[in-house]
């Protein structure tokens, strides 16, 4: 009574998803997520370039190192290059199902504008017009 029994079957779930990152060319980067499942899920990593081409990072040697400790799964590179910019996906699977998490890695030069969330450079402004006339609203966004 009052004893908790660990589940013997659980499909994979991500308790922490991969996050979009911006990194300078030539610098190291670590993509990290947390995944749980019973039995422990098998992980496969994929790279999807901006043209939509998919490459398995699990089976091929592409300068990435896979690390796993408990629920934490990481994909690391010591020196990221501009041609490694794109979407990275981790697929976790076991006999009870699968789950996936993905992020976008932006690779730029130090002189490039900092990556970040979108922001308004020029916001909406009040405007008046006659009923039935066309209205145009203009904004400027960066990020």
Domain spanning 10-111: which CATH class is it, in words? mainly beta
Contact 73, 93 (CB under 8 A): no
What gap in Å lies between CA 81 and CA 83, rounded to an integer? 5
pLDDT reported for residue 4 = 64
Q: Please compute the mean of the pLDDT values over residues 27-53 and round it to a whole number.
A: 95
pLDDT reported for residue 6 = 60
pLDDT reported for residue 90 = 97
pLDDT reported for residue 108 = 87
| 69 confidence band (pLDDT: 50, 70, 90) | very high
pLDDT above 70 as % of the chain: 84
């Amino acid at each position: 009574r009052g004893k908790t029994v660990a589940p013997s079957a659980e499909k994979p779930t991500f308790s922490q998803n991969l996050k979009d990152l911006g990194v300078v060319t030539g610098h190291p980067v670590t993509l990290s997520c947390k995944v749980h499942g019973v039995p422990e899920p098998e992980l496969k990593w994929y790279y999807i370039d901006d043209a939509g081409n998919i490459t398995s990072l699990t089976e091929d040697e592409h300068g990435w190192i896979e690390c796993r400790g408990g629920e934490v799964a990481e994909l690391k590179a010591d020196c990221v290059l501009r041609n490694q910019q794109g979407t990275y996906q981790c697929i976790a699977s076991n006999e009870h199902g699968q789950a996936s998490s993905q992020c976008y890695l932006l690779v730029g030069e130090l002189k490039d504008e900092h990556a970040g969330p979108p922001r308004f450079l020029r916001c909406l402004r009040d405007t008046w017009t006659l009923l039935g006339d066309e209205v145009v609203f203009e904004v400027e966004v960066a990020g």
